[in-house]
């Protein structure tokens, strides 16, 4: 995931600590994910702004499906039991 135009924001979090388990859950499911805007959120935690969670455009549909599961069940989903389809290459 090196080109910014190949990435899309799938959600945002209020802090890096809130974003980290979401990114980890996506990556456990085989979706490369990263945070954006993290530097400003870390430097001044009380500042307005959010940490964006980014994935490759081609992974966005799967990532949105996983986010729905995360919202429904939390980040402690047993991903080995969830069928989210095959990763696109």
H or E element at residue 68 = helix 60-73
Radius of gyration for the alpha carbons in the chain, expressed in angstroms and rounded: 13
Q: Residue 76 and residue 57: Cα distance in Å, rounded? A: 25
- 73 with 65: CB under 8 angstroms? no
Residue 78 pLDDT level (bands cut at 50, 70, 90): low
Strand order in the sheet with 33-36: 7-13, 51-56, 33-36
**24-75 pLDDT tens trace:** 889 988 999 999 875 544 455 545 568 999 999 999 999 999 888 878 876 6
Q: Residue 36 and residue 49: Cα distance in Å, rounded? A: 11
């Amino acid at each position: 995931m090196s080109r910014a135009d190949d990435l899309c924001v799938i959600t945002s979090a209020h802090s890096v600590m809130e974003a980290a388990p979401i990114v980890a859950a996506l990556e456990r499911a085989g979706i490369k994910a990263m945070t954006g805007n993290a530097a400003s959120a870390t430097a001044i935690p009380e500042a307005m702004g959010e940490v964006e969670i980014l994935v490759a455009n081609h992974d966005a549909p799967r990532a949105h499906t996983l986010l729905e599961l995360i919202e429904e069940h939390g980040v402690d989903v047993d991903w080995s039991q969830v069928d989210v389809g095959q990763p696109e290459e």
